[in-house]
Amino acid sequence: MTMANQAKHSIKKRYFRIIFSVFALIICSGTVFFIYIQNEQSSLSHKREVMENKADTINELASTLKEVFFRARGYTSLKSDNELKLLNVALLNLDGVLSTYSKLQLTAEEIQFNEQLSAFYVQYKSVILPTAIALVEADDYAGLRALSQKGSTQSVNDFLAYTKEFKQRADNALNVMDRDSIKQAANFTLIAFMFSIVILLFFTIMVWRILKSLIDPILRLEGATHSLAAGEGVLLDKLKKQDEIGRLYEAFHNMARSIQDKEEELMMQNEELHAQQDELQDQQSRLQHSLTEIESMMKALDHSAAVGILTHKGVFTYANENLSGYTKYKKSEIIGYTYRLFELSNFSSTDMQQIFHRLNTGGVWSNEVQLLAKDGTLLWLQLSIVPYLNDEGEIYQYILIANDITSMKSVQQELAETLKHTEQTKMMLELNNQLNHDISYTLDKQEFADKFLHFMNRFYAFDSSFFLLVKDKITAVKGIPQAKVDRYLENDNDDMLYRLQMEKTYKIKRQATQSEQGISAEDVYCYDFYTTVVNAENEILAVFCGSRIGHSFTGEEINEIEGMMNRAALAIERIFIYEEIEHGRMLNRDIVNNINEGIQFVHTDGTMLHVNKALCEIFNYYDWTEGTLIPKEKWKEHFIETSNESAELRLFYQKAMSEHTMDSSSMQYSIGTEYLKHIDVYAIPVYRRETRIGTLFVHRDITREYELDLMKSELVSTVSHELRTPLSSVLGFTELLLSRTMKPEKQLKYLETIHKEAKRLTDLINDFLDLQRMESGKQQYNSEHANLSEIVLGVMDQYKLSSTHQVLLVDEAHHSEVAVDKDKIIQVLTNLLSNAIKFSPDSHEVRVHLHNEADRVIVRIQDSGLGIPQDQIGQLFQKFGRIDNSASKRIGGTGLGLAISKEIIEKQQGTIGIDSVEGEGTTVWFSLPNLHAEENPQEDDLNKWGTDKDNKLNVMIVEDDYSLSLLLSEELKGKGFRVTHHYHPEQAFEQALKTPYVAIVVDLMLGEELDGWDLIRMLKDDSRTESIPIIISSALDPTDKDLMTVVQKYLTKPYPPGELSSTLTEIVKIRQGTGEVLFPGNH
């Protein structure tokens, strides 16, 4: 019930509602009454006012009329004008009163009266009065009387009478009205009184009802409380109310119920207590009963068992007959002695401690004990000791009860032994089984030998044993040092084998060795047992020997062991067969897996039985493991989708696997996108005893063959093209010469062209053949010791006369001894130099650079020519791999030079490479192994300059005899100088401007145009080079005296090379000492 509901149903609220409604009713009806009475009174007073007004008007009318007639009579009697005037005024007044009257609310009678009056007035005013006036004027009184006789006076009197009557009537009406209003007021008072009584009555009823609804349940509640107090059951209807009383009811109800519940519970507890009391009484009686029983039992116990009583200190105070009977001690011998009289042989002192502990804590101890009787026999007793406690919980005595179980015990022991025996037999059987299992499932010889020996040892308790598989020399050993076994295996064991051949089994009895003897004081004998495992052909497969110390072998055991050996024979043969099969299988697998071809064997139903490693690699398929079958859908789709020719491969598989296909078939397909793998696959149907069992597919990677084929055909096409171009020229110009007449100049030009082209053709053929020979490995290399510097200088010598290019050598190699085919290296150098010259048409210099790096000599040929696009450098070493553009085409060449060079260099343990920047130039380098790399560099004074590569001192040699040049440079290089070779004076001068030289060695006899003197002059005339020391090296005697002054040293050929180097050393020393170079001319 919600609070809102509670509030709605609350008594307070209801009471308040009733009071409020009654109050509202009284207010409402009072107001209505008041308004109604007010209304009635106002209408009554209004009516009264109207009535009074009317009466007043009638009164006025009567007085005015009287006035008129009074004045008229006055006038007629007095004939006074004043009276006439007043008459007129009275007439006017009458007129006003009449009009006022006519405006009032009038009844029909009154209207009529009004009309008559008005008509009379009009008549009087317009007719009678003028006539009367005229009559007065005329003093005709007769006339006047006649006139008044005519009725006018009568009507006036009637009118007056009427007014009088009317006044009286009006007064009466007013009186009636007053009476009515008083009566009405009385009525209202009555009604109000009645109404009040009704309201009071209603209120009383409501209050009474509320009280009733309140008091009734309270009364009932009172009754219930009384009945609850009286302890009777409270039966209260559920009140359907939700007000305060209802809630009180509910709370009371709950209270009553809980009180009742509690009461019931108490009752139950009470009953239980009663029951417990009964039970206690029952127990007591039973206790007494059992006490008597115990007494009788004690008697029985005394008869059947040994009983003793000990004090808490363990001294016997009582012993029955049985106790002395069992122990053979007399009673008197027991009583007064401690328990130590009986020794328990099956308990140690620690066990005893535990027993005491248990007893001291009040526990009963019971166990089987063995003790020694007085006569020395061993007794088995079932002994129980019960401690007795006094009220303080302290032990005051022990009771000891014992039964003789000696006979039972011996039976038990017998039984246990039988059981043990059975257990052993069972174990043996299990071992036997184990052996059977092991030897039938073991496929490894060593494992077999170990297991077999282990079994034998367990089964026959050998102290040491040895099992040898004769053929594989596999041994299993127990209790014998390995060294001994090895010695036996290495040395001839033929003696034993020979004897075993004759005698399948034999045994030896011998004196035990020291170790076998152990601690035994007496002599111990050992028994060795030898036996063999032989196959059906009586070949010895294995040998078994075992020793037992001190135990011989029974005939039964020997028979058993021989049986064992037969079983071993079967197992060993089986292992041999397995190994053979396994070996064959492994061999097959290795063959199949190591073959380059991918092999796939597919069953007739499409299942793949076998796939080898090579095929897995081809198809990137690694789902297969040996022994699993792969369903057709799994492998076939993968293979087909992997290949680029899916449709063809699908068709090929379908056809090859079809049962109707009897012949082998093949196809080619490719795999991959960027690097195509070309595969040739052939299928062979496989039959076993006339039945088709499947199809063998062999996939062969023919990418190399395919590419070679492609390359070969490309090469053929390129070669034919390369040959056809010069041939076209030769044939064409020849034909023109033959068919036309032309000027001799033109003929010469044609012939020159023909010659050039034919030469080109020859070169091409030669180069091509060279390369073919080299590549096929037929080229012979005559390796000899040579100086690479010398070779380079020699080749450079051939270019000395070149008009366009100057070849410059910078020689930094300390060691340039190499073992090469000199001619071939010359071919390479010539090739590279001519390339450098050809491909740098706008430059005039080619630089050759020699230096050592690790154990190699490196030659770099550097030009500043056209250069090579980065992406094409790689293809340069291929045949016809020259850069394919118009510029290079103009330059010409066979396109085989670099390929040949690479071949030559690589055949002589060298490497070759190209560095190039397009538009800036190209450097081709090659390196060859240096012969004297391991030699220490010469320790020399000047070597300190030579150690740092960048700080080497530069010396230029301008000499056109290359052998001399070489000689000098070897000497100078040995001293750590970097030597630059030049043979052209002008270019030497230009070089001198670029590089700081410590000195320049000049030969006087140089070219035809300029000689050494010219160079010296040029150098001395230029401010940039004038300070460089110059050494002249010449065959001539000094002639030009002028120039001699600027020359540092004049060496006349021939001179020992040491002279030049010592001169240079001197120069360097001077420079180092003073910081400047001294010249003779300066002195």
Cα(54)–Cα(34) distance, integer angstroms: 31
Question: Closest CB to another protein among 750 and 926?
Answer: 750
Q: Least distance in Å: CB of 721 to another protein? A: 4
For residue 235, which phi and psi values (nearest 5 degrees)? -115, 100
Measured CA to CA, the distance from residue 1071 to residue 377 in angstroms comes to 127
Give the relative orientation of helices 153-229 and 244-304 as an angle to the nearest 10 degrees: 10
R_g over Cα of the chain: 80
CB of 746 to another protein, least distance (A): 8
Q: What are phi and psi of 977, to 5 degrees?
A: -90, 155
Q: For residues 463 and 477, is the Cβ–Cβ distance under 8 A? A: no
Considering the complex, what minimum distance in angstroms separates the CB of residue 668 from another protein?
Answer: 20
Q: Which of 395, 299, 411, 319 is nearest to 356 (CA)?
A: 395
Could you give phi then psi for residue 467, rounded to 5 degrees?
-130, 125
Residue type (1 letter), 315: V
Toward another protein, which CB reaches closer, 38 or 720?
Answer: 720
Residue placing its CB nearer to another protein in the complex, 7 or 716: 716
Contacts 24+ apart (CB under 8 A), 576-580: 578/443, 579/443, 579/445
Cβ closer to another protein: 46 or 889?
A: 889
CB of 867 to another protein, least distance (A): 17
Of 77 and 725, the one with the shorter C-beta distance to another protein is 725
> What φ, ψ does residue 852 adopt, rounded to 5°?
-100, 145
Q: How far is the CB of 884 from another protein (least distance, A)?
A: 4
Spatial strand order of the sheet with 845-853 comes to 911-917, 921-929, 856-863, 845-853, 806-811, 977-982, 953-958, 997-1002, 1030-1034, 1049-1052
CB of 844 to another protein, least distance (A): 24
CB burial string 967-981: b at 16+ within 10 A, e below? bbbbbbbbbbbbbbb
Residue 71's nearest CA partner among 89, 59, 95 is 89
Least separation in angstroms between CB 724 and another protein: 4
Nearer to another protein, 891 or 1018 (CB): 891
Alpha-carbon distance 1020 to 214, whole Å? 150
Which of 735, 935 has the CB closer to another protein? 735
Smallest distance from the beta carbon of 870 to another protein, in angstroms? 17
**CB of residue 751 vs another protein: minimum separation in angstroms?**
13
Cα dist from 175 to 51, 166, 182, 936, whole Å: 11, 14, 11, 175
Q: Give the nearer residue to another protein in terms of CB position, either 298 or 710.
A: 710
Task: State which residue, 204 or 885, has the beta carbon closest to another protein.
Answer: 885
Give min distance, CB of 718 to another protein, in A: 9
Residue with Cβ nearer another protein (424 or 728)? 728
Residue tagged 């020849």 (tokens): 734
Structure tokens at 736: 């023109």
Secondary structure E strands in 443-520: 464-469, 474-478, 505-511
Which residue number, 720 or 1062, has a Cβ lying nearer to another protein?
720
Q: Are 705 and 679 in contact (CB under 8 A)?
A: no
* Closer residue to another protein in complex, CB, 497/736: 736
CB of 876 to another protein, least distance (A): 15
Which H, E and C letters describe 19-55, residue by residue? HHHHHHHHHHHHHHHHHHHHHHHHHHHHHHHHHHHHH
Min dist CB 918 to another protein, Å, is 15
Closest CA to 851 of 980, 998, 983: 980
Q: Which stretches of the chain bind another protein, using CB under 8 A?
A: 717, 720-721, 723-725, 727-733, 735-736, 739, 753, 756-757, 884-886, 888-890
Name the amino acid, one letter, at 1013: W
Tell me how far, at minimum, the Cβ of 1067 lies from another protein, in Å: 54
For residue 623, give both structure tokens: 């789902």
Cβ proximity to another protein, 284 vs 734, nearer residue: 734
Does residue 467 contact residue 448 with C-beta atoms inside 8 Å?
no
Smallest separation (angstroms) from another protein to the CB of 720: 7
Q: Nearest distance from residue 709's CB to another protein, in Å?
A: 16
Q: Any idea what DSSP says for residue 138?
A: T
User: Least distance to another protein from the beta carbon of 613, Å?
Assistant: 40
Q: Which of 827, 836, 847, 851 is nearest to 901 (CA)?
A: 827
Edge to edge, the sheet with strand 306-311 lists 316-319, 306-311, 395-404, 378-389, 365-372
Residue nearer to another protein on the CB measure, 47 or 756: 756
Q: Which is nearer to another protein, 113 or 750 (CB)?
A: 750
Residue (886 or 1072) nearer to another protein, CB: 886
Cα four-point dihedral sign 337, 342, 343, 346: negative
Q: How do 845-853 and 1030-1034 pair as beta strands?
A: unpaired
* 426 vs 889, beta carbon nearer another protein: 889
Q: What is the closest distance, in whole angstroms, from the C-beta atom of residue 732 to another protein in the complex?
A: 4
Least distance from C-beta 748 to another protein, angstroms?
A: 14
- Amino acid type, 805: H
Q: 667 - beta bridge partners?
A: 681
Taking the least distance from each CB to another protein, the nearer of 99 and 720 is 720
CA 203 to each of CA 23, 32, 195, 473: distance values in angstroms, whole numbers, following the listed order:
10, 21, 12, 133
